[in-house]
Amino acid sequence: MTEDEARERILTAAEDLYYRKGYAAVGMDELRGSAGVSLRRLYALFPSKTDIVQAVLARKHLEWESGLTGAVADAGADPRERLLAVYGHLEDWFCTDGFRGCAFINAFGELGGTNPEVAAIVREHKASFQEYMTRLVVDAGGPASLAAQLSILAEGAQSTAAISSDPQVAVQARGAAAVLIDAATAA
């Protein structure tokens, strides 16, 4: 097994285990066993658990951005529909098997208070989403302040859907977003 293959196996196993069980609940030995690598190789590639968590969150960030921008692009050229596509993307995500909420919110809840590196990664991810929403809002002719409101709806939908196991939360958030968008762009 090459170093790249081992790295990929470790990150895939870590992503799955952390998402299902939580970051704090998964030890290095369990991760090693799930990835099928030696403990020595695991530590050679990732000297600490924080290194693995950071790498997993980097992957999740790219996955999130790719899925979100794809959904928005698929919505076509209408700026209002592009904004609402964010909530359609959330609904699709909430309907996936094993949905357990936002990996970043989960990481911050478990590790953010004790691990400044993880807290910084989560803040950067959320800031990136806010910046993306701001671009979409400006393209739709709305005030930049609308982006914060729409982002809060999306973040709240993620947490609520994870707790309630109800993907319809995204539909409700989309409805609220439509009201906000229409009010802000009519003004």
| Per-residue pLDDT tens digits for 18-52 | 999 999 999 999 999 999 999 999 999 999 999 99
Confidence band of 1 (pLDDT split at 50, 70, 90): confident
Could you tell me the residue ranges of all domains in the chain?
Answer: 1-47, 54-186
- Count of CB atoms within 10 A of residue 85's CB? 22
Contact 177, 87 (CB under 8 A): yes
| Per-residue pLDDT tens digits for 135-183 | 999 999 999 999 999 999 999 999 999 999 999 999 999 999 999 999 9
Confidence band of 95 (pLDDT split at 50, 70, 90): very high
CATH class of the domain whose range is 1-47: mainly alpha
- The helix or strand, by DSSP H or E, that contains position 125, with its residue range, turns out to be helix 116-139
Minimal CA–CA distance to 125: which of 106, 142, 143?
A: 106
Query: In this structure, which topology does domain 54-186 adopt according to CATH?
Result: Tetracycline Repressor; domain 2 (1.10.357)
